[in-house]
Structure 1
Amino acid sequence: MVLTRRSTLGILAALAARPAGARPGLHDLAYSDASPRNRLDIHLPQGGGPFPWLLDLHGGGFRAGDKRLLPVPPELLRAGIAVIRMNYRLSNEALWPAQEQDVLAALDFLRRDGPDLGLKPGRGALGGRSAGAFLAVSAALTLAMQGRPPRAVVDFYGPMDFGSMDADMARLGGEPRRLPADSPQSAESLLVGYAVGQRRDEATALSPVGRLGAMRPGTPLPPLMIRHGAEDRIVPPGQARRLREAWLAINPGAAVDFAILPDERHGSAGFTATRTQEALAGFLLRHLAG
């Protein structure tokens, strides 16, 4: 059942009755009725709020994963930033673009009900890891084309051009830890419903890099933070470089905080390390303020 204003106020009243420091957040709120997976959790910092927020999307190759497996960085909560985790339809339930539609539906829910849930209106960012980063950047581009971009976007080791992933992997060298993206059974092919290698131009066109290439130069884009591992043999770091180049080609003045992390692999410990999470908190504070 979709959360109503009355039920929202009831939840908030129950939270207010808890002793200080015991507030667990709001869990499994329905943001859409398209699927039983259309649920999200809101983790609020201590204090009265309202808070700026990050909608953070889990990875899992578009076919697995769950919001409960996504860590809630204490560095963000200490900085006064709420963290929202959501589930979306997986590729074994629905093909692309259902996943982006879920992200946009969650954002509509947060825009509508967020003020009653302790969230600051208009002070939201989109982010994700791996497959979740693809969804976050894709949704951000849709919103930018509608003239209502998010305040900021975060890409942690996401695929950004399905059509070039195998070429980037070949340049990286070493042994890949995944099926080629061109394979009919790859995570990317299973998402879009065809073998990427057989319809490469189409696969690139629906990816963020391809979509940026089709946008009008000068289109306003939000600030972007990119972190990727130099030793990533699941999503090669060339994907991060392609996104940065395509982003700046459309909007040369866009703020892009870019780093390839030495020795890091796909989702390795460096991405949850305090240094990385404090950099993320600083990036969000700069662009969610006001």
Structure 2
Amino acid sequence: MNLVRAELLKIRTTSTWWLLALIYLPLWGLALFFNYLQADALASGNVGEVPENQADAVAAASLPDNLAANLYTNGQFFGLLMVLLLGVLVVTNEFFHQTVTTTFLTTPHRSAVMVAKLVATAILGLIFWLVTTGANLLVGSAVLEAVGVGARFGGPVWEAIALNALAYVLWAILGVGLGVLIRSQIGATVTGILLYLGGAIGAVIVISTLAARFGDWINNIQLLVPSLASSLMVTGADIPGNPPRWAGAAVLIGYAVVAGVVGTLTLRRRDIS
């Protein structure tokens, strides 16, 4: 616990966390604006002409619980990117400011240091989730009232909120693993952004193209893309044509476990000089 508190202190006494929070705030507002427009369109049925093969998915997305789950997990896409970068910076800051030698001289057991970083970053990811979820519950309830649905707090909604918390923790762990593999602060940060944003956008384009050619079963491939797997976790209920939510959670857990193990082994063996 002392090591975890030390890691939390390192983060709390730097500008990292509040800079990421300032970057995230307008992105959260932008996501809320588009989610409001989507909720209004789905609740009123003004979605235009829907292809026959997508009618069931649109009908499922229009269900009150799914509208509520989407709003109560608002900003997840950019929020997960922020905790990913936070995890990266927890590690790379040590190398950038050349404090890593002091850290390992104070605590020679590198595995213990790595575990402390993972736990501390996971705690920060949960705090990030808690703050955004509190704001989402307040604003999301107001939006649901405005579009004529009313605030919803059914079982599927709480499941989406809980799985969202898990996603924040797992992406924080992925960030730590990436920071260990790429010591350069700029290099790791740019790589994380490109993998997250580029991977999500590129995968959507490729999967949509392949699904149109070979059939909807291709949509199951989205599970292999971490950012799409985490988005799948926060649907209020399973959407026809998409893999189940638990599958997205299982895949993301697998990525996080691999990142944590590889990061720990790498930190134990790599020369820090």
TM-score range for the pair, normalised by the shorter chain length: under 0.3
Greater per-residue helix proportion: 2
Bigger RCO (CA 8 Å, 6+ sep): 2
In the superposition, the TM-score normalised over structure 1's length comes to: 0.26
In the superposition, the TM-score normalised over structure 2's length comes to: 0.28
| Structure with max Cα Rg | 2
Greater per-residue strand proportion: 1
